[in-house]
Amino acid sequence: MTTRSLILIKPDGVKRGLIGKIVERLERPGLKIIGMKMVWIDEDFSKKHYKEHVEKEFYKNLEKFIVSGPIVAIVVEGVEAVENVRKIVGDTEPYKALPGTIRGDFAHHHVEFTNREKKAVMNLIHASANKKEAEEEINLWFSESELHDYSTVHEDHVF
């Protein structure tokens, strides 16, 4: 089934100049980008996006990090897009993320280190965890008019 997922290139990915490399990882397997924009969010928006984490101990470090620069927000569409994107992204903790994943190839942070330093786990991207979260997040970040319906060359081969 064709589904949608939200990906955010977090401030570390933008500042490290990794936008192009990360977008390539999504395009290469044939996922279709149907929305993309750069946004600099504030603390209120962070609390909406990370509502499941607001009460957690690490939240204040996460919030400081996520508002520290602009984010590139992307919506992709594809066959089982949520699960496919999570596979491409890799483990939350870059130390555990396998080579070949975005986090495994471009980051190396360890949770104990980041907690000690009062930093967030800098893991370059966010990706929706399941279909329900994907729907909620896409509604939070994009209006219907920012999502585009068009055909890619892949559609003859993939969909």
DSSP characters for 82-118? HHHHHHHH--SSTTTSPBTBHHHHH----HHHHHHTT
126 is catalytic: yes
Q: What are phi and psi of 78, to 5 degrees?
A: 180, 180
What one-character DSSP code corresponds to residue 7?
A: E
Q: Is the Cβ of residue 61 or residue 152 nearer to ligand ATP in the bound state?
A: 61
Region binding ligand ATP by CB under 6 A among candidate stretches 18-26, 73-81, 126-134, 142-150: 126-134
Q: Is the Cβ of residue 23 or residue 111 nearer to ligand ATP in the bound state?
A: 111
Region binding ligand ATP by CB under 6 A among candidate stretches 29-37, 39-47, 57-65, 136-144: 57-65
Residue 6 to residue 12: CA distance in whole angstroms: 18
Interface residues with Mg ion (CB under 5 A) are 129
E strands present in the chain:
2-9, 32-39, 71-79, 125-127
Contact 2, 77 (CB under 8 A): yes
Which is the catalytic residue, given 53, 110, 126, 154?
Answer: 126
33, 58, 70, 83: which one contacts ligand ATP (CB under 6 A)?
58
Residue 76 to residue 28: CA distance in whole angstroms: 12
54 near ligand ATP, rule: CB under 6 A: no
Contact 103, 55 (CB under 8 A): no
73 near ligand ATP, rule: CB under 6 A: no
**114 contact choice in Mg ion, ligand ATP, none (CB below 5 to 8 Å, kind-dependent):** ligand ATP
CB 129 to ligand ATP: min, Å: 5
5 near ligand ATP, rule: CB under 6 A: no
Residues lying near ligand ATP in the complex (CB under 6 A) are found at 53, 58, 61-62, 92, 111, 114-115, 120-121, 123, 126-127, 129
